[in-house]
Structure 1
Amino acid sequence: MNSLDIAKPPAATRVVAAMSGGVDSSVVAAMLKRQGYDVVGVTLQLYDHGAAVHRAGACCAGQDIHDARRVAEAIGIPHYVLDYESRFRDAVIERFAESYLAGETPIPCVECNRTVKFRDLLGLARELGADALATGHYVASRPLGNGHRGLFRAADPNRDQSYFLYATTQEQLDLLRFPLGEMDKASTRALAAEFGLAIADKPDSQDICFVPNGRYAEVIERLKPGASRPGEVVHLDGRVLGRHDGVLHYTVGQRRGLGISGGEPLYVVRLDAEQARVIVGPREALSVDRVDLRDLNWIGDVPLAELPADGLAVAVRVRSTRAPREARLLRDGDGVHILLAQGEEGVSPGQACVIYDGDGPGARVLGGGVIMPALARPATATPAYATL
C-alpha cells in the first residue's frame, strides 16, 4: 500500500487535488507531487464578479483561482478551472436564502461539501480516472478493516473540520483522502514555505465565501427581494415587546440588537417564520436536552434499525465551535433523536448536530443531521437522558 492506502506505486496512482487557492489545499497538492503521485489540480469557480452576491462585496474568487494556478505551475502539475457557478447557486446559495427565510440558521459549507464538492467533483475525479480525490480539510480518513474507510476528527482539535463534513457518504469517503488530518496549521504553513509557495502567508478565509463581512441579510435580500416580512417581537409569556424587520435578521441565542428594552436580559428563543414572530425569553429558556434531526446521514457500523431500545452512547456537537458532549442516540419511528446528558444553550434549527463515537481528538464521525425547528425541547429538571 502507498501512503494513500492504495495498492499501487505512487507514480501509477492518479490523484485529483481540489485546489481552492488557499494554503491548505496548495500544500496537499505539493505534498502529493513530492511523494511521486500523478497529481491533477482542479479549482471550482463557484461565483463570478457579475453575480448579485458578488456585487455586494464578497471575497474575490478571481484571486483565489489565480493563486491556485500559480501554485500548480510552481509544483509542475496540470491545473483545470471548472465553472460550477450555476450548480453552486442552485445547491448552496438558494438553499441558504430559503433556510434563513424559514427561520433557520443554515450552514452553507455543509451543503457545498455534500453536493458541489464531494458529489460533483468526485464524479469528475472518476471521469479523469483518479484513484483518489484529496482536499485540504483538517479531518482524517482511515481504513476500517471491512473494505471501507471511516471519517475521524483531526489530531488538532483547534483545526478539526469534521463538523462540516458529517454529510459525506460512505461511497464518497472511500475515494476521499485528507492528508492534513494529522497536522496542525503551523506545520502546514511551514511546509508551504519549504515548498516555496507564494501563498505561504495567505490569511485564512473567515466568512462564508459568498457573504461579505458576515452581512448575510444583505445577500438574502438581494436574492429574495421582498421575501422577508416585518412582524412582532413576542415574549414567551405572550407579551408583545416590539417590532422587527424580518426573522432573517435574528438567530437563536441572540441577545444584542433586539431593539427592545426590559428589566431582564432577553434572548431569541425561537423564530416563527410562518407568523413572522421573534420569540424571546430569559437565558434559561435557551437550554434544551432533546434534539430531533432531519436529513440524517449515517456512516456508523451499527444500522439505525438495530439500535438497542435504550439507544447508543455517543458524543454530539450542536455547534461547530463546541466540543463534543455526552449524549444518546435513539430511534424515533422512522427517524432518530438525541438526548443530551446536559442541557445545551443556543441549539439553533438549521444547524448541524454531528454524532461521534467519543469526545476526544481522533473520534470517529458516525453521522449527523439538521436540527429541526419545532421539536427542540426545553431542558427539564431531570433530563430524560438520566432515566434511561
Structure 2
Amino acid sequence: MTQFERDVEERLVRYASVDTQSDENSATQPSTAIQLDLARMLADELTAIGAAEVTVTDYGAVLATVPATAEGPAIGLLAHMDTAPAYNATGVKPRVIRGYAGGPIRFPDAPDLVLSPEIAPYLATKIGDDIITASGLTLLGADDKAGVSVVMTLAAHLLAHPEIAHPKLRLAFTPDEEIGRGVDPRLPADLGVDFAYTLDGGALGEVEHETFSADGAKVKITGVSTHTGTAQGKMVNALHLAAKLIELLPQATQTPEVTAGRDGFWHVYALTGTAAEVELSIILRDFELAGLAARGELLRTACAAIAATEPRAKVTCEIRPQYRNMRYWLEKDMTPVTLAHAACRAEGIEPVARAIRGGTDGSRLTEMGVPCPNLFTGMQEIHGPLEWISVQDMAAAVRVCLRLVSLAAQA
C-alpha cells in the first residue's frame, strides 16, 4: 500500500465519521452548525502540517495557503464539507474492504442491502482495490469528503517536500454545496487565484468542464380549510391540487429516473404541508439555457392551469437561479482543462470529458470569474446507502493533482 493510499484512506474514514449534513430550510450560514465541527478539525490539521494563512471564514469556509516554491499561476483547490440532505448521514460507520475480490458486497447493518457490479458496473473494474463503504444505514459522505481527503493529502505532501516545484496554492473547503450555497459572494476575492479546480468528481480520469444549468422552484398552494363534516362545497384540498399539478408535468420523458446523458429534467424532491396549504420544492435542470427557460415556463403554465381550475385556491410559483453551465465560460479559455488533461496523461490515465448531470461549487465560481473545472475522486453511488469509493482512485487523484501543480510551475 502506498503512502498516498494510506493517507487518503485514513482521512476519509476519519472525516466521514463527522456528521456535516446541510439543511436547505435553515437561514443560517453555514446552514448547520455541525459543519463547523469538521471545519475546525481541518483548520487545526492545516496548521499542524504547516499551511499558511489558515482561517475559518464567517461564512463557514476553511481557507489556507500552500506557499509557492516556483513561479506560476496561483491555483485554487476546493472540496465541500457538507453531505447531502437526501439520505441519513448521522452515525456514519465507514468500513474498508481490502482487496475487493468481485461479486456482491453486503452491509453489516442492513443485511438485505446489496452492492454489486450489476447495480454499479464501475465496481467490476476495481477488483483488487480497497473499497470503502458505510455500514448500510447511512450514506458514506465520500461526496465530498473524498475531495477533502485528496486535497489535504496533497497539501501535507507538498509542505513536507519543499523541493517539489509548484506555484502558490489556495485551498478552500466550503459548506453547503449540496444545497446550492457553497460559494459565498466573498469567496472569489478571498481565494485570489488565477483558476481553480473542485475535487468533486467520479470515476478515474474524469475532467469535467460542463455541468447542468440549474434553477430551483418553490410552489405554494393555499386551499380552503374547513371541518370535514361540513366540507361539502366549501373545502379546497391543497394536497389534491398538488397531486394534480405533479400529474400535469411530463412524467414519461422528463424526470430523473427516465433521463440520462444530455437530457434535462424536472424533479419534485419535497412536498410538505396539509390539506390547507402545501409547498412543493422542485429543481429544473438542462444543459442549455433555452431548455432551462422552457422547463420554467412549463412549470408556470401548469401552476396557472391549476389555479384556473380552482379559483378559490391561491397558487404561487417562484423560480430562482442556482447555477449555470460552466462550459459557457470555460470554452473561451480552456487552459485549466488542458492542464488537467496533461496531468492525467502524465500519470498514465486517459482523461475522460463528461458533462456532469449536476453541478459543483465550480459552476458558481466559474460564473463569478474564477475558471474552475471539476476533477475525479472516485466517488460512486452517491447520496444513498450504496455509496462507495476505491482507495486507489483517491490516491490516483492525489498523484494527478501533484502532477498538475508541478506542470503549472513549468508553464
Q: TM-score, normalised by structure 2?
A: 0.22
Q: TM-score, normalised by structure 1?
A: 0.23
More strand by share: 1
More helix by share: 2
Q: Which has the higher contact order (CA 8 A, sep 6+)?
A: 2
